[in-house]
Amino acid sequence: MTPPAQTLADRIEALLPQTQCTKCGFHGCRPYAEAMARGEAACNRCPPGGAEGIRRLSALLGTAALPLDTNCGNEQPRAVARIDESLCIGCTLCTQACPVDAIAGAPKQMHTVLPDWCTGCDLCVAPCPVDCIDMVPVTGDATGWAAWSQPLADASKARYQSRNARLVREREENDARLAAKAAAKLEALQAESTQSDAEQAAQERKRAIIAAAIERARQKQQAARPRNTENVSPAVQAQIDAAEARRAKAGKIGTSTACEPPDTGNAAPPSSDHKPEQA
């Protein structure tokens, strides 16, 4: 099978160090690559790639090799994060910040950096509330690509993508749990008997809140589904219908929904990218 053609953004991204440090001013290497491909960003904004990285990018793009834009940072030896474990309070803020899952630890327990996975992005340093993370240079005088390598970049990209996939999966699972909880709450509410007008009004208010939350979740889930399904041929429409039927059979329609917590006094907490609701 012929491999899919690479876009310009793909080829640019392949030249970036994949530390995901955001020093270029973009939320990771891929968005920066896309901005360069659109001609909206210069190719001298990546300190981890340094002068060699700029040379590679400008050769691909056919532009002049500008000096590094030091507003984004300086080219310097690569560092690895080190946690002073005697000070760590186990708050997990560093693990939430690390783009490549290079920090091991659990809530209220000591955390430690996996040095072979650490890209030196330093994104874990600022969130630490007890300032117990130091960045320790590990490459002597070597900087930029001389302090990094393509296998390391490839491994970092794989870990970054794996982490993102896990976060999406956790968020979807959490959303599904919240949706199921809201549906169960609505059912229980409808089964409650009411005596006075005041009780009836209170029940109706709660029911409306929960129903609105469920409807918002349904609309959110609907918006997340593929939209390029208009004006398709009958054959493609049949394929879409078959896929929808399989999704429904697998329980992926109407259950895997995002749901904000109903405001009924004892609602579940909101979902989050980093901290799914605990069962």
91 vs 189, beta carbon nearer ligand SF4: 91
75 vs 260, beta carbon nearer ligand SF4: 75
Segment interacting with ligand SF4, rule: CB under 6 A, options 88-96, 187-195, 234-242, 245-253: 88-96
85 vs 215, beta carbon nearer ligand SF4: 85
Tell me which of 14, 89, 155, 167 binds ligand SF4, using CB under 6 A.
89
61 vs 93, beta carbon nearer ligand SF4: 93
Residue 145 is a binding residue for ligand SF4 (CB under 6 A): no
Residue 94 is a binding residue for ligand SF4 (CB under 6 A): yes
Smallest distance from ligand SF4 to CB 276, Å? 18
Residue 15 is a binding residue for ligand SF4 (CB under 6 A): no
Residues 34-73 that bind ligand SF4 (CB under 6 A): 46-49
The binding track of 103-122 with respect to ligand SF4, each residue x by CB under 6 A or -, is x-x-----x-x----xxxxx
Residue 143 is a binding residue for ligand SF4 (CB under 6 A): no
d(C-alpha 218, C-alpha 227), whole Å: 15
Number of residues that bind ligand SF4 (CB under 6 A): 45
Whole-angstrom CA distances from 262 to 27, 255, 267 are 32, 17, 6
123 vs 178, beta carbon nearer ligand SF4: 123
Tell me which of 12, 57, 83, 179 binds ligand SF4, using CB under 6 A.
83
DSSP letters, the chain, are -PPPPPPHHHHHHTTS------TTSSSSHHHHHHHHHTT-S-S---TTTHHHHHHHHHHHHT---PPP-TTS----B-EEEEE-TTT-----HHHHH-TT--EE--TTS--EE-TTT-----TTTTT-TT--EEEEE-STT-BGGGG--HHHHHHHHHHHHHHHHHHHHHHHHHHHHHHHHHHHHHHHHHH----SHHHHHHHHHHHHHHHHHHHHHHHHHHHHS----SS--HHHHHHHHHHHHHHHHTT-SSSS---PPP-SSSPPPPP-SS-PPP-
Q: Which residues bind ligand SF4 (CB under 6 A)?
A: 16-17, 19-24, 26, 28-29, 32, 46-49, 81, 83, 88-94, 97-98, 100, 102-103, 105, 111, 113, 118-124, 127-128, 130, 132-133
